[in-house]
Structure 1
Amino acid sequence: MSRKRLLIIAHAPSPNTSAMRDALLDGARSPEIEGVDARALSPFATAPEDVVAADGVLLLTPENLGYMSGALKDFFDRCYYPCFERTQGLPYALCIRAGSDGTGTRRGVETIATGLRWRAVQEPLICRGAWRAEFLDQCRELGTLMAAGLEAGVF
């Protein structure tokens, strides 16, 4: 069985979002998951080839003015058309660090992902309100579930 590749595209401009990115990666690299290689890239460092090579994608963005971060939007702007024909059906999950409610951010990302014909494999994880330590546990769990689903061939 060939190893699967999970790409975490994370805009992590703050200590809290950096910790969330690291927790997603830690979860995806759980010792019980042996058949998945996980790596995290900034949206600015992610090229279409990175997405095409991935078997699944985890997106992390802060909520900025009720929308996804400019960095994630830049990623989609650069990669949409080069990925369009080549990544249809790609399983993805979304994690939002929302100071407010995350609704606009979720809607924006889902609209683009729907256009790409990517397949959401879980409800978005929206970490709302004041910072709480359990956000990291939720991110770890999401990373683990995404990697386990890829490894098992569920996604």
Structure 2
Amino acid sequence: MGNRRKLLVVAHAPSPNTLKLREAVEQGARHQDIENVDVTVLAPLDAGPEDVLACDAIILGTSENLGYMSGALKDFFDRSYYPCLEQTQALPFAYYIRAGHDGTGTRRAIESIATGLRWKRMQEPLICRGEYRDEFEDQCRELGLYMAASLDAGLI
């Protein structure tokens, strides 16, 4: 049991569609073929530095609000930044944005904070742009699966 890895998903889901995306990430991460990964899914206001310090990788999710990340995700970063700064360097992370527009400002903000934390981005951000489409859920499911599978295989 000591070799189990921990994947943390911190995602803001203020609407039915963003909840579907968070659930899709979780479904992918909990795929039946993933054997040695424990998945914890938390809303940003329920997550804190102790959760980040306990994980081996993290997936972030947010809506785009006025060209920026959700206030809830920003609050999570505000509370977690300094307690995690020296202890989570090189933490593997990925993220998705539910963007009604282009997601540029939100991406820039997340990248800036993650760079300050010295986290290691594992793939290009998933930006679900424009009108909601069911394919966003498939993309989020893949994101969860790839991160969990990478942890399970010891690649990250």
- TM-score, normalized by length of structure 1? 0.99
Q: Which residue of 1 aligns with 2:46?
A: 45
Partner of 1:103: 104
Helix, strand or coil at the partner of 1:49: helix
CA distance in 2, matches of 1:3, 1:138: 25
Match of 1:138 in 2: 139
Distance 2:40 2:139 in 1: 18
- Provide the C-alpha distance between the structure 2 equivalents of 1:51 and 1:39, rounded to a whole number of angstroms: 11
Please tell me the root mean square deviation across aligned C-alpha atoms, in Å: 0.7
Return the letter of the residue paired with 2:95: L
- 1:43 partner amino acid: P
Question: Which residues in structure 2 correspond to 1:1-155 (within 5 Å)?
Answer: 2-155=3-156
Q: What is the count of residue pairs matched by the alignment? A: 155
Q: Deviation digits for residues 50-95 of structure 1, max 9, x if unmatched?
A: 0000000000000000010000000000110000011111000010
Structure 1 gaps, min length 5? none
Cα distance in 2 for residues equivalent to 1:47 and 1:129:
30
Residue 12 of structure 1 aligns to a residue whose secondary structure is coil
Q: Percent identity?
A: 64
**Partners of 2:132 and 2:44 in 1: how far apart?**
23
Aligned-pair CA distance for 1:152: 1.1
Paired letter, 2:121: A
Shift of 1:131: 0.4
Counterparts of 1:8 and 1:47 in 2: how far apart (Å)? Answer: 12
Any idea what the Cα deviations from partners look like across 1:6-50, whole Å, max 9, x if unmatched? 000010000000000000000000001111011110111111110
Partner SS state of residue 154, structure 1: coil
Gaps of 5+ in 2: none
